Amino acid sequence: MFKGILIEKNNDHYSVSIRSLEDSELPEGDVTIDVSYSTLNYKDGLAITGKSPVVRRFPMVPGIDLVGTVTQSDSERFVVGDQVLLNGFGVGENHWGGLAEKARLNSDWLLKLPTGLSAKQAMAIGTAGYTAMLSVIALERHGITPEKGDVLVTGANGGVGSFAIKLLSKLGYRVIASTGRPEEGEYLKALGAAEIINRNTLSEAGRPMGKERWIAAVDSVGSHTLANICAGLKYGGIVTACGLAQGMDFPASVAPFILRGVTLAGIDSVYRPIADREEAWARLANLLTDADLGSIGTEIGLDKVLTTAEDLIAGKIRGRIMVNLQH
């Protein structure tokens, strides 16, 4: 027996509870893992609260991240005792995820825990840090260097935003942080933000083209915010789109693209190829210190996940939430 969060749906009744589960209930997979840490991401919050139809199959254990120890393996890539991590691949949506003490997974979805990272550190980073790193790599590949101008980060108090600020500032970029919680200004400055703006300046319908303000941006918000970012990009600039906290719509004009040659780069973290994942995680292991992660992450136990998920969706959480499954 092991404990986990189980989401069930019978007709129109959606329920979430912490349950005792049996090994025989685990889904198919060639690797079984004792989970040491998982996380609580925005997508997990949506799944647990039922605010959005994230879960595609029921019953479901949510949790799009996990790290743990292999206890059984039919894969040539992993042996018993290996420390492994997972982000995405539909886990927590189509396949039981990390918010349980055990998981059974497809070995093709797994990475070995990078050298230099502990299990706790890996989940302090999680999908949020990994997504932020993919965004930073996209900016670098576009030729964006610190001397070319400011980089805007939206959703700055969230997990992706927090890591984007930290990573960019460590790499020498001047970062502008956009937030709806100005009282968190000291936190954002401690991460490395040089300037803070109110998200209200970006969240309403704006002009097709505006003043050139930033050479690049990392956006986890979408909707009018993303449209206004594009309108304010400098010539040849780029914005990475990796979230939809404001909405899925994109009420924009083609003007910035054809008059300033800007680029909109989509960042998919769920089905990213293994080689890209390995590159991102290697960079994260080299760039981030324990002190960096301590300022971004908060640890809770499984018993606190349901109430914390409500706070996350309500915008009351900053940074990362790590869930200790061995607590």
**Which residue blocks in the chain are alpha helix, DSSP H?**
42-49, 119-141, 159-170, 185-191, 200-203, 223-232, 255-259, 274-287, 290-296, 305-313
Tokens of 177: 């942080």
The values of phi and psi at residue 72, to 5°, are: -155, 135
Residues of the chain with CATH 3.40.50.720: 127-266
264: pLDDT strictly greater than 90: yes
pLDDT at 150: 98
What CA–CA distances, in Å, run from 232 to 67, 223, 265?
39, 15, 16
pLDDT at 225: 98
Residues of the chain with CATH 3.90.180.10: 2-113+292-324
CATH number, domain 127-266: 3.40.50.720
pLDDT tens digit string along 26-54?
Answer: 999 999 999 999 999 989 999 999 988 89
184: pLDDT strictly greater than 90: no
CATH of 2-113+292-324, one of 3.90.230.10, 3.30.465.10, 3.40.50.970, 3.90.180.10: 3.90.180.10
| More confident: 326 or 36 | 36
327: pLDDT strictly greater than 80: no
pLDDT tens digit string along 286-297?
Answer: 999 988 888 787
pLDDT at 53: 87
